[in-house]
Amino acid sequence: MFRRKLTALDYHDPDRFDCSDETQFRNCIVWLEDQKIRHYKIEDRGNLRNIPSSDWPKAFHQYLQDLNCPFGSEERKEAVDWLLGLAVRYEYGDNVDKYKNCQPLASGNSEKAVDPLVNLDSNSPDFKAGVTALANILKIQRHDDYLVMLKAIRILIQERLSPEAITKANQSKEGVPVSLEKHILGFDTGDATLNEAAQILRLLHIEELRELQTKINEAIVAVQAIIADPKTDHRLGKVGR
């Protein structure tokens, strides 16, 4: 499952790499840090390079934390896949001129578009690592069902990150002139200036409450859409949760 990324990184033996083999696994991690990621200074890589040490798992766990990896050391396959993805990104960043003119491989059947989700394996570590990474970037709460997380990511991107949404968010909001005399404060501070300031603060607070109510309504609609969605797990033999 790691062969494609290892090959792209010029790993010495991508076809025979076995993540379950402790020696191969540790050597690969050290190789990634030394050759591609280079997060630590050379003098700080001693614990990670000490492959035979019984404390190596602790060093690896700390390494993942220092990289802000979303996976722990016990999630070995997911962590390796995440590290490989990070290494590929750094490799491209170091050699932009080399890779920017690369042409995609010609498809044998380019006339018919293929849905990339048709053969999607939602249980594969690659899929889980990718969805988790996106969820962390977009600040989406983790869920046990990765398909649910993917659906939440899609909704967020469509509603908040589409060109139309970004354009709307960047538009400056012009204020509407308001006459303070028309709004009764309800109390008197004894100072005309303070009274005006209190009126302005009250109007701003009302505007914030309106925005909050709008967001609450949107959340209610979103929850109702999920609850009413009949596309649930058919293995349960029922519709709904």
Report if pTM > 0.85: no
Q: Mean pLDDT lowest for which of 64-68, 99-103, 132-136, 210-214? A: 99-103
Confidence of residue 241 (pLDDT cuts 50, 70, 90): very low
Same domain, 95 and 8: yes
pLDDT in tens, 36-67: 898 999 999 999 999 999 999 999 999 999 99
Q: Could you give the count of Cα atoms lying within 13 Å of 118 in the half-sphere of its Cβ?
A: 4
Do 29 and 80 sit in the same domain of this protein? yes
> What is residue 118's predicted lDDT score, i.e. its pLDDT?
57
Asked, for residue 216, whether it belongs to a domain, the answer is yes
Residues 195 and 132 in one domain: no
Would you report the helix, strand and coil content of the chain in percent, each value rounded to 5?
Answer: 60, 0, 40
Residue 117 maps to a domain: no
Answer yes or no: do 91 and 6 share one domain: yes
Confidence of residue 168 (pLDDT cuts 50, 70, 90): confident
Residues 94 and 24 placed together within one structural domain of the fold: yes
The answer to whether residues 48 and 59 touch, using CB atoms and an 8 Å cutoff, is yes
The mean of the pLDDT values for the chain is: 80
pLDDT bracket for residue 173 (50, 70, 90): low
The domain tally of the chain equals 3
Q: Are residues 140 and 212 both part of a single domain?
A: no
165 with 190, same domain: the answer is no
Residue 240 zone, left/alpha/beta (φ > 0; ψ -120 to 50; rest): left
Residue 206 inside a domain? The answer is: yes
Amino acid at 187: F
Residues 93 and 18 in one domain: yes
Residue 68 located in a structural domain? yes
pLDDT at residue 175 tops 90: no
Could you read off the pLDDT of 116-153 as tens digits, one per residue?
555 667 778 888 888 888 888 888 888 888 888 888 88
The residue-averaged pLDDT of 158-178 equals 72
What's the rounded mean pLDDT across residues 171-189?
A: 71
Give the percent of the chain with pLDDT over 90: 20
Q: What is the pLDDT of residue 202?
A: 85
- pLDDT at 211 exceeding the cut of 70: yes
Is 191 part of a structural domain of the chain? Answer: yes
Q: For residue 59, is it within any domain? A: yes
More confident residue, 92 or 43: 43
Residue 110 pLDDT grade (very low, low, confident, very high; cuts 50, 70, 90): very low
Residues 165 and 127 occupy one common structural domain: yes
Backbone angles phi, psi at 121, to 5 degrees: -100, 100
Residues 39 and 91 in one domain: yes
pLDDT score recorded for residue 26: 92
Interval 157-162 mean pLDDT: 81
Residue that finishes a domain, picked among 100, 135, 161: 100
DSSP-assigned letter for residue 149: H
pLDDT of residue 143: 82
Question: Residue 15 above 50 pLDDT?
Answer: yes
- Decide if 241 is inside a domain: no
Within-domain flag for 239: no
User: Domain residues for 211?
Assistant: 183-230
* Whether residue 237 has pLDDT greater than 90: no
Residues with Cβ within 8 Å of residue 87, at least 6 apart in sequence: 5, 9, 32, 36, 37
Q: Does 141 lie in the same domain as 52? A: no
Torsion sign, CA atoms 137, 123, 119, 104: positive
95/17 same-domain check? yes
